[in-house]
Structure formats: C-alpha cells, structure tokens
Amino acid sequence: MHRRMFARRLFRPATRLFLPLAVVALMAIPNLAFAQGKTTKPAATSPSQNPICQKVGKTLQLSSGGRMWCLGPQNGSGSSTIRHSITPKPPISGQFSANVNAANPAEDISPSGVVAYGQSETSVARFGNDVLEAWNDSTGFFSSCGSPNFKEELTGFGFSSDGGATFTDMGGLPNNRCGTNILSGDPSVEVWAPGGRVTFYVSSLYPSQTGDGLNYIGLNVCQLSGSIVNCGFPILMAASSQCEVFDGFSFCSFPDKDFLSIDPVRGRLYVSYTDFRFDSNGAIDLGMCDIGTPSGGIGPAGGTAVNPVCEGVPADTTTGADGAPYLNIATSFGCNELEGAYPAVDPGRGSIYVAYEDNWATNLFGCNQPTFNQMTFTAKSCLTVTPTSPCHHATRTNGVTITSMASAFIPGYNRFPMNDFPRVAFSKKYQTISMVWNDGRFHPTGDILMQSFTAVHIKPVCCGPIQLNSDVGGWNFMPATRQADNNGNINVLWYQRASGNTAVTYVVAAISVNPKTTSTPAANYLVTDATSDWNAVSSDIIPNFGDYTDLYLTSNCVNGTYSYLGQINAAWSDGRIGVPQPFYASGSDS
C-alpha cells in the first residue's frame, strides 16, 4: 500500500522545500468505535465528553498532551507568587554549548494569523551530527485540519544536521487523518541507523478528535537522506484497551504519557504508557514494534525501519472491540493512580525495565497509602514478536517510598499537582538500572535523588537514595536521564532555582555519575546560558513548561555494534523570550 510522505529539505535559517516521496504503511483509523452495541443518540462531538476527561482536575490527572486533548487551550498565567530579583547561584559553567532554540517563533502562527504561545514538553535524540527534537506545539489549537506544514498537529519538531548548532522548525508532524485523530503531544524521540540510514522515531498521543473513537499512541518515522528528512504518516503503536457505553455514547480508554526506548541489537522499539481505563486507576502498559534488522533487513514480523509492524493494536480497528495491550506491566484496582512510565532496554539480554509513579495525585485526594516510584523488570522471554506477550505482567517489581512534591505550587509553574515521575538508565558496565526523581524528604523545595538497583533482580544498591544536586538553595525538579555512557556512568539534568522564592529558572546537570556512588557529586554544571522568569511568560498550554525534560547520549554504530558516546544532548522548555520554546544544548561528560 502506497501513501504520500513529505520530504523537507533543510536550509538555514528556515527555508523549506517539500517533495512528495513514497512510502509508509498506515493502518486504518476508525471514526467511531462501539464496544457494546449501537445507539440511536447522536455521536459525541468533543473529547471533553469522554468520562475520563470529566475526571481531570477532580479524581484524575493526565499528562500535558492528555489535557490538551481534553481541555484545549488554557489560561497559561503562572501560579501566584511574590516576585524577587534574585541572581541565581550558578553551578560550574563552560561544559555545555551555546543554547539553540530548536523552534522558530515565526512558524508558530496559524493560517488565520493568530500567534500561538507555548512549545514545551521536549524530547530529543541524536545520531552522529543529526539531531531531532520534538515538543508540544500550541499552534495546533488555532489551526484547522489541512493547514500548511501540518500546523493543526499538537506535536511539532525541528531538525539539525550540524550537531545542533542550528535547527529548522519543520512545523507539525505529518498526519493524513487529522479529521478523525490528532497528534496531541507528549512526544518521545528515538534513533538508530539500520544499514547506515539514520532513522528517527517520534511517538505522540493520537486520540480521537470527537472523543468517541479509539485512542492511540501514534508513531511517525523520519528517515534521512542527506539534507532531506522524510517523515511518514502515523503508524498505530498502541491503542485503547477498553471501550464502554455511557449515557448512550461510546467512549474508549485513553493511552497517555508515552515514552520510547530502542533495542538496536534485535530491532525492537518499545513504548511505555498509562492506559486510563474505566475499571481501574491506571494500567501501565508496554507496546512493541518490529523495526527490522540492524543491517536494514526485514524483521521476524515483517517490519522494517520505515515500516514497523507494531503489536498490541486491534486487528480490526473499525469495531472498537476491547483489545489487550501487548504487555500489561501493572494495573491499579485501588485508589492509587499509576502514571509517568519510562522505559530502558538492556540490549545485552534483550530485557526491558519500566519505572512509574504509584499513587501520583491521588495521594492528595484521600488515597493514604505510601507513594512509591516502582521499578519493574521484564525478561526477554516475555518479549516475543507476537500480537500479545505470553506474560501477564512484569517479571519483577521493586520500589522506593518517596516524599512526593505533588502539593507544591512552584512559582510560575501553572501545573498542579506537581509530579515525581522516575526517569531511568541502564548501565551495562555496572549491571545496574537507576531511577532519578525529585523528592521533598530533605528540603521542601525538592532535591534530585537517585536509586540504583542490580540488573535483573532489581535489588537496591548500597545505602538508599543519593542526592545529586550539590546546591540546595532552591527548587530542583523534573530530572531526565536516558542511557549510560560507554564507561557505565549516567548523566542527569533538571530545572533548578537559586531560591525557593523566585521563578527565575535555569537548567543544570550532574555528569558522569557512577550509578553505584554513595555520595553527592561535588558540583553540578550549568546547561543554560540564560535564565527565564517563569512568572513573566505567556503560554496557551497547561503545564506551561511541560512535565518532563530530556537528555540523550549521542548514539554511534561501528560494524553493527551500537554504543552511546559521552556527548550529552539536552532538551528543555525555556521562557527566556517570554514564550516557552524548545531549547537544545550539547556537552561532554568528561
């Protein structure tokens, strides 16, 4: 089956050439999904009618992308606080490059001439000198289906072929089904180079436009050819696992907070996410796609780099019949909401780790059990290339009790509740899996803590969580980590403020951290070369600065063997120009 793709030639600063190419397979997208019979009542016309959306802000929280789908544009003023002109205490500077805006504000204008305010929730990946960064793009709020450059999509992206020195804002990711399903942000980016062809993968929320159809995790495949990046239309990577009829209307569960991890040895692309079902308080699920072989050949399920074959998606997407996810990691049937799942692959064993927060937000609203960040291990034997895994849940689970910052009103940050989602990195050398998160146990304005576990058995290493921030003067929140470098060490970045009484924000990193360390690093390193006052920034999105940052080590392949160099690629949302923008910087961990 042949579909159109869109090739975009990169010039500097932002000139584009669009060329029709071939070919990405696209599964059919349904308009309506009825799980329990037909109804004579009119169909729902807005996602806000979905019972899941009606719980937002009451008994249920969603990601930034989920809130965009449910609520549309929102008042983006910062939370109330007393402003102070405080010069931040800077960590060590000079380790990271000049900061680059991966977007172009001139592109953030709808076809009718409306300026959009807010590009946040960033993710990045890099192979060699090729860098792709994606973000939540509020331009889609004010642009109709069929807009130039796919402006109606709520996932935007930029590309750099010069190692991040300059970027071209590419607009929205291609979507030829915007009348029924929209790319709704929460992007995650991965990359590999099968057969020497650099291929980026960008996942996004991909829900029904009307709220009464199946909701998906969509996957856009972008392959490079010299200075041209070719991005295909969305492939279905995961789907609603449950549909029900409420008051005569059919609604389906909502897959939320997607994030990718790749197994470059076996050609597997994984996505972890929460499926908000009607019979539980969140199911942490895993999706898997066969993306071919490292040499660029066809994989066991018939997948290739540009035509992945994804498991766990209903074969008949027109009926809306309940379907099983590829693998259920965990499900809450109690009061505790599960959210914020992040994966990491052990490419040696072919196994996968998924961490998530247990009792997020519900810890504020009557669920009095402890709040945990859970780490799970799933063995290779469960990760078969089949429609569903032969296993019913993760192989092993262990966790850390955390002191949640959910009730924090961080000055200038317009999201409540705050999250404590764990980010994860696997170390081949030390045979550890580490999670990092923000925690209020030592200081009410938060610290960045790390807990490492032994591989496979996920038993805690050493003496409990280790504090990574060397400056405890103010706020520390939203850490990111992805991979360990070739020396087995991990790098972590996060937002920091010099005082608890300021909205002036910068980004710092702890670099080359031994996952078995027992002490706080002697210093942190400044990532940003300018600060931003979050109380002086306009945004059409809640949260105005998203709920995650990202860090990716440059990927490399020599004779079919993949490694991660000690080159840090940082992505975050920055308000230095008065509007949240997706920024980028690179640095060395040595």
Query: Is the per-residue pLDDT at 325 higher than 70?
Result: yes
Question: 208-212, 247-251, 480-484 — which one is most confidently predicted on average?
Answer: 480-484
- DSSP code of 281? S
Confidence of residue 559 (pLDDT cuts 50, 70, 90): low
* Dmax (CA) of the chain: 67
What is the mean predicted confidence (pLDDT) over 487-509?
96
Query: Is the per-residue pLDDT at 15 higher than 50?
Result: no
Query: Is the per-residue pLDDT at 30 higher than 80?
Result: no
Cα of 188 vs its chain's centroid, Å: 4
CB atoms within 10 A of CB 309: 20
Q: Which amino acid is at 195?
A: G
Q: What is the pLDDT at residue 205?
A: 98
| Dihedral sign for Cα atoms in the order 553, 420, 377, 311 | negative
Question: 18-32, 41-55, 343-357 — which one is most confidently predicted on average?
Answer: 343-357
Give 8 or 214, the one with higher predicted confidence.
Answer: 214
Residue-wise pLDDT for 270-283, tens only, equals 999 999 999 999 99
Give 52 or 183, the one with higher predicted confidence.
Answer: 183
Query: Is the per-residue pLDDT at 87 higher than 50?
Result: no
What is the mean predicted confidence (pLDDT) over 441-463?
95
> Count of residues for the chain?
590
Residue-wise pLDDT for 176-187, tens only, equals 999 999 999 999
Q: Give the CA radius of gyration of the chain.
A: 22
Q: What is the pLDDT at residue 315?
A: 61
Residue ranges in 63-216 assigned as alpha helix (H) = 64-71
- As a whole-number percent, the residues of the chain with pLDDT over 90 amount to 75
What is the mean predicted confidence (pLDDT) over 362-386?
97
Please state, rounded to an integer, the average pLDDT across all residues of the chain: 87
Confidence of residue 322 (pLDDT cuts 50, 70, 90): low
CA torsion 569→573→575→581, rounded to 10°?
A: 90
Domains located in the chain, CATH noted: 5-546+553-588 (2.120.10.10)
Q: What is the pLDDT at residue 43?
A: 53
What is the mean predicted confidence (pLDDT) over 49-78?
75
Among 13-17, 234-238, 494-498, the least confident range: 13-17
How far apart, in whole angstroms, are the C-alpha atoms of residue 13 and residue 136?
Answer: 22
Q: What is the pLDDT at residue 317?
A: 52
What is the mean predicted confidence (pLDDT) over 364-393?
97
Q: What is the pLDDT at residue 16?
A: 30
Query: Is the per-residue pLDDT at 511 higher than 90?
Result: yes
Among 39-53, 433-447, 490-504, the least confident range: 39-53
Strands (E), 207-294: 216-225, 228-231, 235-239, 243-246, 249-252, 254-263, 268-276, 283-290
How far apart, in whole angstroms, are the C-alpha atoms of residue 422 and residue 424?
Answer: 7
What is the mean predicted confidence (pLDDT) over 145-170?
97
Report which of 198, 155, 199 is spatially closest to residue 175, judged by C-alpha positions.
155
How far apart, in whole angstroms, are the C-alpha atoms of residue 298 and residue 106?
Answer: 41
Report which of 13, 18, 27, 23 is spatially closest to residue 229, judged by C-alpha positions.
18
Give 59 or 549, the one with higher predicted confidence.
Answer: 549
Q: What is the pLDDT at residue 476?
A: 97
Say which residues have a Cβ less than 8 Å from residue 563's Cβ, sequence separation at least 6: 486, 555, 556, 557
Query: Is the per-residue pLDDT at 46 higher than 70?
Result: yes
End-to-end CA distance of the chain: 48
CB atoms within 10 A of CB 210: 18
How far apart, in whole angstroms, are the C-alpha atoms of residue 46 and residue 50?
Answer: 8
Confidence of residue 152 (pLDDT cuts 50, 70, 90): very high
Q: Which two tokens stand for residue 260?
A: 């990718």
What three-state secondary structure class fits 194?
A: helix
Q: What is the pLDDT at residue 276?
A: 96
Q: What is the pLDDT at residue 11?
A: 29
What is the mean predicted confidence (pLDDT) over 1-30?
30
Asked if 31 and 222 touch (Cβ cutoff 8 Å), the reply is no
Q: What is the pLDDT at residue 310?
A: 96
